[in-house]
Copies of this chain bind each other. A is one copy, B any other.
Amino acid sequence: MLIYATGDDLASGQVARSAARGGNDAPTSGVASGVVQTNFISVPRDWAYDVLLYAQRNPKPCPVLEVIEDGDFESKLAPGSDLRTDLPRYRVWRDGVLAEEPTDAREAWAEHHDLVTFLIGCSFTFEAGLAAANIEIRHQTLGRNVPMYRTAVDCEPAGRLRGKLVVSMRPIPADRVADAVQISGRTPAVHGAPVHIGDPAVLGIDLDNPEFGDAPAPLRDGEVPVFWACGVTPQAAIMESRVPFAITHAPGRMFVTDVRNESYTV
């Protein structure tokens, strides 16, 4: 059930969208921490079934929170929103190649009359829970974007879509890893528990060279790299599958909604 925010939490989501509409393109980790953030992908109607099926088969990286009908751009998760302008920065993809990174997607949007939009859960949603348990969110401390990696792990293909799993990484003190698993595990609709803990090599990852976001600082003694499935995974599929046209968010720059994190807590 959707639980809409009130008071300061509601205001903080609205302020974040307003800032994005005004051109602020900072990453959104830690912003409006009481409400859900989402990944964003719009494709022409002809590709919608492929995307929805890809998401169904890969629910850890692609938990779909909302599907918005052909041509519409208002989310039920944030009444009054305009998905063409309310994210900090977008990516426009042509034949699987990143073509532009505008802060306003209206021009690209106007190229297709039948874009279907998918809002996909984001791990920034459970960062509030980690922080409430006094688990440091290192990339927030450093003022950086979260590091995201394209792994060597294949997602389940669907229709014309195939691609690798993308993960985000947070360094967690070894004695808090179990807490981080349990806290994030309570929100399966926003990636849930980690997909991998402690061994980047198995995922084919070089920790210092993320494909998306910012490189992390070196891990401290006693810290373990913990990997969560990431909603940038559809972007990896867009590239590998050479989707003719798509608009997505820029990694780390999410759609901030009006619904409380508790909407997706089990």
Q: Which residues of A contact B (CB under 8 A)?
A: 48-49, 52-53, 56-57, 64, 67, 158, 185-186, 188, 192-193, 266
Tell whether, in the assembled complex, residue A57 and residue B52 are in contact, meaning their CB atoms are under 8 Å apart. no
A59 to chain B: closest residue by CB:
B189
User: A53: which of B67, B185, B186 is its contact (CB, 8 Å)?
Assistant: B67
User: How many monomers of this chain does the complex have?
Assistant: 2
Cα A48 to Cα B52 in complex, Å, equals: 11
Tell whether, in the assembled complex, residue B186 and residue A266 are in contact, meaning their CB atoms are under 8 Å apart. yes
Give the distance to chain B from A126, nearest Cβ to Cβ, in Å.
13
Tell whether, in the assembled complex, residue A56 and residue B67 are in contact, meaning their CB atoms are under 8 Å apart. yes
A185 to chain B: closest residue by CB:
B266
Cα A114 to Cα B37 in complex, Å, equals: 38
A186 to chain B: closest residue by CB:
B266
Give the distance to chain B from A39, nearest Cβ to Cβ, in Å.
15
Cα A56 to Cα B56 in complex, Å, equals: 9
Cα A52 to Cα B56 in complex, Å, equals: 9
Inter-chain contacts of A266 with B (CB < 8 A): 185-186, 188, 192-193, 266
**14 A-B pairs whose Cβ atoms sit less than 8 Å apart in the complex:** A48-B49, A49-B49, A49-B52, A52-B52, A52-B53, A53-B67, A56-B56, A56-B64, A185-B266, A186-B266, A188-B188, A188-B266, A193-B266, A266-B266
Cα A266 to Cα B59 in complex, Å, equals: 13
Cα A188 to Cα B186 in complex, Å, equals: 10
- Given A49-B49, A56-B64, 6 more pairs with CB closer than 8 A: A49-B52, A52-B56, A67-B158, A185-B266, A188-B266, A266-B266
Cα A192 to Cα B188 in complex, Å, equals: 12
Give the distance to chain B from A96, nearest Cβ to Cβ, in Å.
22
Closest 5 CB pairs of A and B: A49-B49, A52-B52, A188-B266, A56-B64, A185-B266
